[in-house]
């Protein structure tokens, strides 16, 4: 009788483990190659601009330095998701450590509000357009590269999708909201004193929990990319 009860208990336990095994939450440290490089569109535009405009872009690109890793990567299963077993989604995030090199002055309006500095809310909107982020694989290729090549890469779905703009998986659900608080924190870092350090938290989108191990292995680095909007006439940056 005892043997029978034990067998039933073992079977039920195994069943529970197998039904929950694909969902997970956790964290690890990733030894990523993080680089600050011009966005592809900015790179094209830089080939045609005057030297002073090129210097302006370089100054902006050197606002901060990325401190050496490893970097914390976290994933959390969406507990409130209604989905089939084996297709659980995890909210993923990546924390990158930065050190400020130069203090950024708020942008100055030209035109109707000529001479007035941007408000914090206006700067949040501006910052959103000045940076993009992309992970790259062992070949140095991003999801954009694979898409442009029409590459039939089975691992395309394993690219993390880092973003400062959105916060995904809020309240354990498949959704996204604006991430204005984090952007404001980032902006306040940029206008702080040189030498200030900051944890840049990037939302890396919702990924299949069962793919986390492969995702960790596939993503080898991160591009932090100032965009061509840095070169727009309305952005007259001042530094201390």
At a CB cut-off of 8 Å and minimum separation 6, what does 178 contact? 165, 166, 167
> What DSSP assignment string belongs to 170-219?
GGGSS-EEE-HHHHHHHHHHHTS-TT-EEEEEEEEEEEEGGGHHHHHHH-
CA pair distance 200, 189, nearest whole angstrom: 10
pLDDT band for position 65 (cuts 50, 70, 90): very high
- Is the pLDDT at 222 greater than 80? The verdict is yes
- Is the pLDDT at 77 greater than 60? The verdict is yes
Q: Which residues pair with 27 in a beta bridge?
A: 74
Q: Which residue has the higher pLDDT, 113 or 221?
A: 221
Residue range 65-80: average pLDDT? 92
Q: How far apart, in Å, are the Cα atoms of 126 and each of 103, 109, 119, 120, 201?
A: 16, 12, 10, 10, 18
Radius of gyration of the chain (CA): 22
Q: How much of the chain exceeds pLDDT 70, in percent?
A: 78
CA pair distance 115, 108, nearest whole angstrom: 6
User: For 134, phi and psi rounded to 5 degrees?
Assistant: -155, 135
CA neighbor of 66 nearest in space, from 99, 44, 31: 99
pTM listed for this prediction: 0.82
- Is the pLDDT at 3 greater than 60? The verdict is no
Q: What is the pLDDT of residues 21-59, one digit of tens each?
A: 344 789 999 999 999 999 999 999 999 999 999 999 999
pLDDT band for position 145 (cuts 50, 70, 90): confident
In the numeric block, which tokens belong to residue 87? 């297709």
pLDDT band for position 10 (cuts 50, 70, 90): very low
Q: Which residue has the higher pLDDT, 108 or 132?
A: 132
Look at residue 136 and give its three-state secondary structure: strand
Number of other residues whose CB lies within 10 A of the CB of residue 45? 18
Question: Contact at 8 Å (CB) between 235 and 45?
Answer: no
Whether a cis peptide bond, with omega within 30° of 0, leads into 70 is yes
Q: How far apart, in Å, are the Cα atoms of 74 and each of 89, 121, 140, 142?
A: 13, 29, 23, 21
In the numeric block, which tokens belong to residue 90? 């995890």
CA pair distance 40, 97, nearest whole angstrom: 24
- The H-or-E segment that residue 166 falls in is strand 166-168
């Amino acid at each position: 009788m005892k043997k029978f009860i034990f067998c039933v208990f073992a079977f039920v336990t195994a069943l529970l483990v197998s039904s929950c095994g694909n969902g997970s939450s956790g964290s690890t440290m990733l030894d990523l190659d993080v680089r600050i490089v011009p966005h592809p569109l900015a790179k094209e535009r830089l080939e045609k601009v005057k030297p002073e405009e090129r210097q302006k872009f370089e100054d902006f690109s050197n606002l901060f330095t990325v401190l050496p890793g490893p970097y914390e990567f976290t994933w959390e299963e969406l507990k409130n998701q209604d989905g089939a077993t084996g297709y659980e989604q995890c909210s993923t995030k990546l924390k990158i450590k930065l050190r400020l090199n130069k203090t950024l002055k708020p942008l100055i309006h030209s035109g109707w509000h000529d001479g007035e500095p941007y408000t914090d809310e206006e700067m949040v909107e501006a910052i959103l357009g000045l940076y993009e982020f992309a992970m790259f694989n062992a070949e140095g290729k991003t999801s954009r590269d694979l898409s442009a090549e029409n590459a039939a890469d089975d691992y395309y779905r394993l690219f993390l999708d880092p973003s400062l703009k959105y916060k995904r998986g809020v309240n354990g659900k498949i959704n996204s909201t604006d991430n204005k608080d984090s952007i404001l924190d980032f902006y306040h870092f940029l206008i702080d004193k040189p030498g200030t350090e900051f944890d840049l938290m990037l939302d890396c989108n919702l990924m299949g929990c069962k793919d986390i191990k492969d995702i960790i292995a596939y993503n080898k680095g991160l591009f932090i990319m100032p965009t061509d909007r840095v070169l727009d006439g309305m952005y007259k940056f001042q530094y201390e």
